[in-house]
Amino acid sequence: MRKKIGRQTYKFEKRICIRDTRSIAGPIESQGPLKSYFHETFEDDLLGQDSFEKAEHQMCLKNILSLLETNQLNETDIDIYIGGDLLNQIITTNLTARDLKIPYWGLYNACSTFVEAIQAAAVLLDGDFINRAVISTASHFSTAERQYRFPLELGTQSPPSAQRTVTGSGAMILEKSCLEGPFVTHMTIGKVMDFEQSDPNDMGSAMAIAACDTIMTHLEDLDVNVEDYDLIVTGDLGEVGYNITKDFLRKKGLNIENRYKDCGMLVYDIINQDVMCGGSGAGCSSTVFTSYFYNKLKNKELNKILLVATGALLSPVSTGQKENIPCIAHAVTIENSK
């Protein structure tokens, strides 16, 4: 059976199920509208460590170990750990892999890394290379802020178009040949897009065109309609990117407004919390999916969603050199039936 459908979409033959998920969220996130869905929250940004970078590592590691413990699995029961983060050379995930002693693939596609990790694990599972994988992504406001923008000590005020990096981590166990879902059934691999946007304080505008391209390609490749999904969920476009995506797709004849959510807008109360236009970060889509959306799928409140994680592929160096921000969006179909 041909697995590739159309230009960028692939169908998985095996029953690749999400066995379980776990989320951990920081102080600001735990004050937002999803606080009752997170598996664990914490009030100390430093998590008892002497740096924010060490805190991010501990958050990621603790989340995975707790997920394994809940499912009565040892590290030797996992064939591969796949994950990534935003810090230089994905050091958070590298240190977590060092502690786990599980065979490891480190990925970087900025805030789209969570879905990229799902895709990589699903390909290995569908190809009978492995039986079980754990994936995770993480981010921390205080580490990302001083790497990509300004030292925290400056207290620099962000413009309204900016987004707050989510302090949180989401982890997931993927297996094959399960009887019970939700299942990962399709993936659409994104292309790098350039919307000629160079402002790191307006990443939603930069990423929106990549989200639109992947959504349109997915629907065209599979010859399906927006109405075939309960929801289309983007990773972290925030209010600005969310509205651009809606408007752009409407002009292309796709009205997704009644079936469209963005993780960056769900994780915070953007009216009452000082978060500009919403959340971003490698931990944004993973924290929201592994808590809120996984709960909705397991309880059959949702039965089929298209998860489209978006990523701004900039670096401090490229920003300093006034380079445009290249962006990408990867998508997976997650549904309760297979």
- Answer whether residue 223 shows pLDDT above 60: yes
If pLDDT is split at 50, 70 and 90, which confidence band does 275 have?
confident
Matching residue, tokens 């394994």? 68
Distance CA 225, CA 126 (A): 26
User: Under DSSP, is residue 25 helix (H, G, I), strand (E, B) or coil?
Assistant: strand
Q: In this predicted structure, what is the pLDDT of residue 288?
A: 98
pLDDT computed for residue 321 by the predictor:
87
Grade residue 32 by pLDDT with cuts at 50, 70 and 90: very high
Whether the predicted model's global pTM rises above the 0.75 cut? yes
- Asked whether the beta carbons of 239 and 278 are under 8 A apart, the reply is yes
Q: What is the mean pLDDT of residues 181-203?
A: 90
Enter the tokens of residue 94: 């590298």
* Short-list 315, 317, 284, CA closest to 163: 284
Asked if residue 154 has pLDDT above 60, the reply is no
**Measured CA distances, 227 to 134, 219, 244, 254, 260 (Å):** 31, 11, 20, 10, 11
Q: Is 50 exposed, middle or buried (0-12, 13-18, 19+ CB in 10 A)?
A: exposed
Dihedral sign from CA coordinates of 218, 223, 225, 231:
negative
With 80 as the cut, is the pLDDT of residue 252 above it? yes
Distances (CA, A) of 328 to 17, 139, 147, 208, 267: 25, 18, 21, 9, 21
Give the dihedral sign, CA 311/30/154/140: negative
| Segment 160-190, tens digit of pLDDT | 567 889 999 999 999 997 888 899 999 999 9
Tens-digit pLDDT profile for residues 42-65: 999 999 999 999 999 999 999 999
Counting residues of the chain whose pLDDT is more than 90, the rounded percentage is 80
pLDDT digit string (tens) for 95-139? 999 999 999 999 999 999 999 999 999 999 999 999 999 999 999
pLDDT score recorded for residue 152: 60
Instruction: Give the pLDDT of residue 222.
Output: 97
